[in-house]
Amino acid sequence: MQQEAYTRETEQVEKEQLIQLVGFMIGKEYFGVDILMVQEIIRSTPITAVPNSPDFIEGVINLRGSIIPVIDLRKRLNLLKIKDKENKEKEDIWIIILDVEGRTTGFIVDMVTEVLKIQEDSIESPPEIVSAGLKSQYIRGVCKIDKRLLILLDFNRILLLDEIKKLKDVD
């Protein structure tokens, strides 16, 4: 009887330590974002360019009457394009709609993969040499999924203060 209660308690604690992530790809790199930030994932929607906007802002979309800025995450993270991806059709894009500090924002990624459940203690801090070189501390951690590494991003820190101001100007 005590063993059953202990087992149920242990299972409950393990469930509470699980976090869910939405996995996505940019090139060959595997990233994740906390599922609680994700409002929805959309595909094949027209993006309207905004003149004189920062280069990482792809434009805006109309999502059920709301005008939402869209950021190209590849450009924001300075990830190089792979040649076969350069000619990717605009209709074949994925946009993850996130709530970033109360502001609805879209982020273009190459592909959304799956919802992942991982133990919170399996997330390791990013190597200091990596995070020290970043202008913004947007890497929350790194964890191993199967035989690949997943970089967990903190979207609340992905934009710098002056970039947030520019984003407000786009609205």
Taking the C-alpha atoms of residue 69 and residue 125, their distance in angstroms, rounded to an integer, is 30
* pLDDT value of position 85: 46
Domain extents in the chain: 18-170
Q: Report the CATH superfamily, name and number, of domain 18-170.
A: CheA-289, Domain 4 (2.40.50.180)
Q: How many CA atoms lie within 13 A of 65 on its CB side?
A: 0
- Per-residue pLDDT of the chain in tens (171 residues, 90 and over written 9): 566 655 555 555 455 688 999 999 998 899 999 999 999 999 878 999 999 888 889 999 999 999 999 999 998 888 876 654 444 555 578 999 999 888 899 999 999 999 999 998 888 887 776 555 555 578 888 998 888 889 999 888 887 666 666 565 655
Among 114, 103, 168, 102, which Cα is nearest to 145's?
114
Token pair of 118 as six digits:
């991982």
Among 164, 130, 161, 158, which Cα is nearest to 37's?
158
> pTM for the full model?
0.78
* pLDDT value of position 133: 52
Residue carrying the six token digits 């894009």: 93
Token pair of 63 as six digits:
């999502």
Which tens digits make up the pLDDT trace of 8-24?
A: 555 554 556 889 999 99
